[in-house]
Structure 1
Amino acid sequence: MFIQSFGEWLYDTPISTTFRDITWVIPAVQSIHILAIAVVIGSALVSELRLAGLIATDEAPGNVVRRYLPWIWRALIVLLASGTLLIVAEPARTLGNTIFWVKMALVLGAFVLTLAFRRPLLAAQAGDAATPAKPIAFLLLAVWVVVIFCGRFIAYT
């Protein structure tokens, strides 16, 4: 019940009303959100496929992770900011939606897994770290794909 009453309160705030009243705000923020998702997925795809040993095998895994991980973190910050704006603009659409909470749990899980399994690569000298198991790389890719699907399904549930 707290989430529902919080959502109703948030919906009635002046900033939420302003976001909804200015017709270009929500589409612009959604576009930025989607572009940031593309950066996360693109960077994760290259990193995970390298860690799975499928691409760029001539380059040390740590070097690939060092190159793409900053892109993931920056894009996640943009996703957090744009997602927060979308929640403020349309709280009922998200806060009361189970799919939204599944998406948030998956993003948190991917974040934790990325930190846990990339830290040894970042700490190691180039070429010193062993490549993590393929299943972890594919699991992270799968989680990001499910996050995308959840994001799309929020609009339909």
Structure 2
Amino acid sequence: MTPTLASFESLSWIVSHPYAYPALEVVHIAGIALLFGNLVLFELRVWGIGVALPVDVLQRVALRTSLVGFGIAAASGGVMFASHPGELLANRAFLAKMGLLVAAGVNAAAFHGRGGSRRLDRVARLQTALSLGLWLAIIICGRWIAYL
């Protein structure tokens, strides 16, 4: 059964509750911090900073923590979306954010698919720079949602 906008109406109370939506935003930001902070740490290593840290060990810790952060951000973002989907689907910043999330996922899959963390070559550095740019744009679009 495919959910419809009407099926999300039971969560609409979140928007009007004085603490629920702000609490979700805090959880969302904490997830983003875990995600983005660990990606930056790993990307710095790909760029040659912190060469004393073994890439495989750093990748295992940083990327797992990034995935936990992504899961937290996605779950809290999903609940925020479900609380007012019609408004968000009409918001250009939200739509841009979703498109950028897809692009970030494709870039990450391409990086790991080609073994970028083993190669640490120019392409890997370009992909991590693209990752950083995409995630910064995602964060910017996320903030603009409230203003567009």
TM-score (norm 1): 0.81
Map of 2:126 onto structure 1: 135
Q: Secondary structure at the match of 1:26?
A: helix
Are 1:48 and 2:43 counterparts? Answer: yes
Judging changes above 3 Å, is the alpha-carbon distance between structure 1 residues 153 and 10 closer, same or farther for their aligned structure 2 residues?
Answer: farther
Output the CA distance in 2 between the equivalents of 1:10 and 1:98.
Answer: 23
Judging changes above 3 Å, is the alpha-carbon distance between structure 1 residues 87 and 97 closer, same or farther for their aligned structure 2 residues?
Answer: same
The answer for unaligned runs of 5 or more in structure 2 is none
Are 1:33 and 2:22 counterparts? Answer: no
**Contact persistence 1:33–1:78 (CA under 8 A):** yes
Offset of residue 49 of structure 1: 1.0
Higher relative contact order (CA 8 A, sep 6+): 1
TM-score (norm 2): 0.85
**Contact persistence 2:94–2:141 (CA under 8 A):** yes
Offset of residue 115 of structure 1: 2.7
Output the CA distance in 2 between the equivalents of 1:130 and 1:62.
Answer: 11
Are 1:118 and 2:109 counterparts? Answer: no
Query: After the TM superposition, which parts of structure 1 deviate over 6 Å for at least 4 consecutive aligned residues?
Result: none
Deviations 1:65-115 (CA, angstroms, capped at 9, x unpaired): 111111111111111111111112222431111221111111122122223
Output the CA distance in 1 between the equivalents of 2:106 and 2:47.
Answer: 19
Matched-pair identity in %: 27
Q: CA RMSD in A?
A: 1.9
Output the CA distance in 1 between the equivalents of 2:38 and 2:136.
Answer: 13
Output the CA distance in 1 between the equivalents of 2:88 and 2:116.
Answer: 36
Structural mapping, 1:16-27, within 5 Å: 16=12, 18-27=13-22
The answer for unaligned runs of 5 or more in structure 1 is 1-5, 123-128
Give the number of the structure whose alpha-carbon radius of gyration is greater.
Answer: 1
* Structure 1 range deviating more: 35-44 or 130-139: 130-139
Structural mapping, 1:44-123, within 5 Å: 44-53=39-48, 55-119=49-113, 120=115
Output the CA distance in 1 between the equivalents of 2:58 and 2:107.
Answer: 17
Q: Secondary structure at the match of 1:30?
A: helix
Q: Secondary structure at the match of 1:59?
A: coil
